[in-house]
Structure 1
Amino acid sequence: MSRPAPKARSAYRYFRDITTRWMDNDVYAHVNNVVYYSWFDTVVNAWLMEQKVLDFGCSPSVGLVVETGCSYFSSIAFPDIVRAGLRVSHLGTSSVRYEVGLFANDGQQAAAQGHFVHVYVDRATRRPMPLPVELRLALEAIEVSHEEL
Structure 2
Amino acid sequence: MTGNLGLDGAGFDFPSNGSGTPDSRATARTTATLLSAMSRLPIYTAYLNALPILGVDGSLAAIDKNVEGKEHIFVKSGATVSNGQMIAMNMAGYIDAKSGRHLAYALFVNNAGPVTALTDTLDVFDDEAQILGIVYSKY
Task: Compute the TM-score of the two structures, normalised by the length of structure 2.
Answer: 0.26
Higher helix share: 2
Task: Compute the TM-score of the two structures, normalised by the length of structure 1.
Answer: 0.25
